[in-house]
Amino acid sequence: MANHKSAIKRIRSGAAKRMRNRYQMKSTRTVLKSVRASKTKTEASPLFLKASSMLDKLAKRGIIHKNNASNKKSKLAKLIAKLA
């Protein structure tokens, strides 16, 4: 266990940040899954916009790397382009 007051605070704040990051990441993964599961372009397009926005926010906040977000958006765009 930490001995300094500042170390105890870092443990508390780190745990809170970890929970927030996990929530945001899980929410994004759920939206990504729904985009992949959609069958038509009209169904997938608004979900793709939401997913790309969420990925950009994750990258901006440092939860994922910006290239990771870019790769995920690119793969989703290619998948949607194949839909009828």
Helices 5-37/66-82 angle, 10° precision = 10
* Phi, psi torsion values for 83, nearest 5 degrees: -70, 155
pTM for this structure? 0.86
All residues at 6 or more sequence positions from 40 whose CB lies less than 8 Å from its CB, including other chains: 83, 84
pLDDT tens column, 20-65: 999 999 999 999 999 999 999 999 999 999 999 999 999 999 999 9
* Phi, psi torsion values for 62, nearest 5 degrees: 85, 15
For domain 5-82, give the CATH superfamily. Ribosomal protein S20 (1.20.58.110)
Find how far residue 81's CA is from the centre of its chain.
21
Check: CB of residue 79 under 8 Å from CB of residue 38. Answer: no
